[in-house]
């Protein structure tokens, strides 16, 4: 018996003419690790909702065909029954948390199964240790960062050891370390417990090396079902936006086949002699010209800043320190990435800079309006229709005009993110734009559109500060990276300097190349490898 099976399943949301899923037939066997991907609004989240019983029991609409989960037909069993065999983490973890403290949230699914007090306590402790959230057990959930909340929601989904785990972008708000640990945890559960995993993800570089198969959806149809390396070859021809950075690096260097992960990429380069004899200075002068040109501008007087703060500190009511004496100056037109582990204080800093929260100590000065895009785009959506949120011109500008009559809660996560950004940027041009994890739910094509939009704002003189765990976004956008740790800025340097030489805070290109040439993007890395191959080919 399959852990999950779709048999010619089709589904259309209420009030929609086009089906969200069309004739899906696929099976996931016990012990399989399957990744599902595709562009925004391709049907990925709907597929997961169908597997968890939310479609059609909660959302309504018209469905045909069958979905069978652990032997339970979703036509006869709703989300409550299915939760006993399938743990689910949706795209918005804040909507799943129902208890007041982290410990109570983790205990809730175990108590619902009627387990003894000792079994519940053991289960909570085990899942807290597994996900590195033991120190959060007594914390109120309302005090958690987005990444911490995501791990807690995942813990609740895994606590009862379900035979199938359904995950919708579980690493979207996690720092690099937590994201890597999560994927390794899922693989361990998959291998040791035989847990079947269906993982929806845009950032394929985090999970592809662990996958047995990759499903690709396009316009509600299953268009590819193949092992990772074969899927990457298919993507190069049919949907280049689904290529991982390492695959794009190989393509730009003219190397085949595309690697499914860093280990495979480095093994291939080693076999070609391309990881030997290239010192960082060989291409360092060409690696990041944007970083060098912008870095010299940061020496300008503070009064020319678009946004600055001095001596900024923030404490919670219980006395816990979140920010400690932060000094920051953003120049007009400067693009900066704010990075750091979950709970480092990134979101708090953005909220204070935007005037949403008050600092305990310190001062914030801005040249004009400061626009803030919060981590949860749903915070901005208050109307019954998309066209009630912004005007037709903004919808057209963000490619959302076809969704004008839709309810904002019914569109995809990436579309909600674009809609919220449109709301934030409406009106007069801000002197500074602050974005908190803006690529949540976005595919690479949408990220490219976001980068182009932010580049245009910067060219007009707006300072841009992006809090992100997405190293690929930081490398493509920012000239400068701030690394926040323990409420303090511990690094403030050009992007290539921060993202090229390490491991967790490094792009996939930098990890493949071992920091050679401070190459952070596939384009920079491809140029380095082509230069190296030219040298090798010379007589």
Q: List, for residues 294-327, the tens digit of each pLDDT value.
A: 334 444 444 589 999 999 999 988 888 999 999 9
Q: What percent of the chain has pLDDT over 90?
A: 69
Place 208 in a pLDDT band, splitting at 50, 70 and 90. very high
Q: List, for residues 248-263, the tens digit of each pLDDT value.
A: 999 999 999 999 999 9
Domains along the chain with CATH numbers? 4-251 (3.40.50.300), 303-495 (3.40.50.300)
In order of 150, 276, 372, 472, 477, the CA distances from 421 in angstroms are 22, 45, 9, 20, 17
Lowest mean pLDDT among 147-151, 215-219, 246-250, 274-278: 274-278
Place 41 in a pLDDT band, splitting at 50, 70 and 90. confident
DSSP 291-315: HHHHHGGGGS-GGG-SEEEEEEEEE
Q: Which helix (H) or strand (E) holds 124?
A: helix 117-130
Residue 291 above 70 pLDDT? no
Place 364 in a pLDDT band, splitting at 50, 70 and 90. very high
The pLDDT of residue 474: 96
Determine the 3-state secondary structure of 21 from DSSP: strand
Stated pTM of the model: 0.86
Q: List, for residues 13-22, the tens digit of each pLDDT value.
A: 998 899 999 9
Q: List, for residues 60-97, the tens digit of each pLDDT value.
A: 999 999 999 999 999 999 998 998 899 999 877 878 88
Residue 264 backbone dihedrals phi, psi, to 5 degrees: -65, -40
Q: Which helix (H) or strand (E) holds 327?
A: strand 321-330
Place 143 in a pLDDT band, splitting at 50, 70 and 90. confident
Residue 278 above 80 pLDDT? no
For 310-333, b/e burial (b = at least 16 CB within 10 A) is eebbbeeeeeeebbbebebbbbbb
Q: What percent of the chain has pLDDT over 70?
A: 94
Residue 532 above 90 pLDDT? no
Q: What average pLDDT does the structure give for the chain?
A: 90
Residue 116 above 70 pLDDT? yes
Place 282 in a pLDDT band, splitting at 50, 70 and 90. very low
| Residues in CB range of 240: below 8 A, 6 or more apart | none
Q: Could you give the CA distance from residue 252 to residue 242 in angstroms, rounded to a whole number?
A: 15
Place 538 in a pLDDT band, splitting at 50, 70 and 90. low
The pLDDT of residue 303: 54
Residue in the structure block whose two tokens are 């500060």: 465
The pLDDT of residue 94: 78
Residue 292 above 70 pLDDT? no
């Amino acid at each position: 018996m399959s852990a999950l099976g779709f048999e010619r399943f089709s589904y259309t949301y209420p009030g929609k003419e086009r089906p969200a899923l069309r004739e899906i037939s696929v099976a996931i066997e016990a012990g399989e690790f399957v990744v599902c991907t595709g562009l925004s609004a391709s049907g990925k989240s709907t597929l997961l909702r169908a597997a968890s019983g939310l479609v059609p029991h909660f959302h309504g609409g018209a469905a045909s065909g069958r979905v069978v989960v652990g032997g339970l037909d979703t036509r006869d069993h709703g989300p409550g029954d299915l939760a006993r065999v399938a743990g689910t983490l949706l795209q918005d973890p804040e909507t799943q948390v129902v208890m007041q403290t982290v410990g109570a949230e983790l205990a809730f699914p175990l108590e619902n199964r009627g387990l003894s007090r000792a079994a519940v306590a053991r289960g909570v402790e085990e899942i807290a240790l597994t996900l590195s959230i033991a120190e959060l057990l007594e914390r109120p959930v309302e005090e958690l960062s987005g990444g911490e909340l995501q791990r807690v929601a995942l813990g609740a989904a895994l606590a009862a050891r379900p035979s199938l785990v359904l995950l919708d972008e579980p690493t979207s708000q996690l720092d690099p370390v937590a994201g890597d640990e999560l994927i390794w945890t899922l693989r361990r559960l998959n291998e040791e417990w035989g847990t079947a995993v269906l993982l929806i993800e845009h950032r394929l570089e985090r999970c592809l090396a662990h996958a047995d198969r990759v499903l690709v959806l396009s316009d509600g149809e299953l268009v590819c079902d193949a092992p990772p390396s074969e899927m990457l070859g298919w993507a190069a021809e049919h949907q280049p936006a689904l290529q991982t950075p390492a695959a794009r690096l190989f393509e730009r260097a003219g190397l085949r086949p595309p690697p499914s992960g860093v280990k495979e990429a480095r093994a291939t380069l080693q076999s070609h002699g391309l990881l030997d004899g290239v010192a960082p200075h060989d291409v360092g002068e060409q690696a990041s010209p944007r970083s060098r040109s912008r870095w010299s501008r940061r020496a300008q007087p503070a009064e020319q800043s678009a946004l600055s703060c001095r001596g900024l500190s923030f404490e919670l009511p219980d006395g816990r320190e979140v920010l400690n004496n932060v000094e920051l100056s953003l120049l007009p037109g400067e693009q900066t990435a704010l990075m750091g582990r979950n709970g480092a204080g990134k979101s708090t800093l953005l909220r204070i800079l935007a005037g949403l929260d008050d600092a305990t100590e310190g001062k914030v000065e801005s040249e004009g309006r400061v626009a803030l895009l919060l981590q949860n785009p749903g915070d901005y959506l208050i109307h019954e229709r998309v066209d009630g949120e912004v005007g037709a011109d903004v919808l057209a500008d963000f490619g959302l005009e076809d969704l004008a009559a839709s309810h904002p809660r019914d569109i995809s996560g990436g579309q909600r993110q674009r809609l919220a950004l449109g709301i934030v940027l409406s009106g007069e041009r801000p002197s500074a734009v602050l974005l908190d994890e803006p690529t949540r739910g976005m595919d690479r094509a949408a990220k490219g559109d976001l980068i182009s939009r932010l580049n245009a704002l910067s060219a007009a003189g707006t300072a841009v500060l992006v809090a992100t765990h997405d190293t690929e976004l930081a490398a493509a956008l920012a000239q400068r990276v701030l690394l926040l740790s323990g409420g303090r800025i511990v690094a403030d340097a050009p992007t290539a300097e921060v993202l090229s030489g390490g491991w967790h805070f490094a792009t996939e290109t930098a990890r493949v190349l071992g920091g050679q040439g401070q190459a952070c993007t596939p384009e920079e890395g491809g140029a380095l490898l082509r230069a190296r191959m030219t040298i090798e080919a010379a007589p």
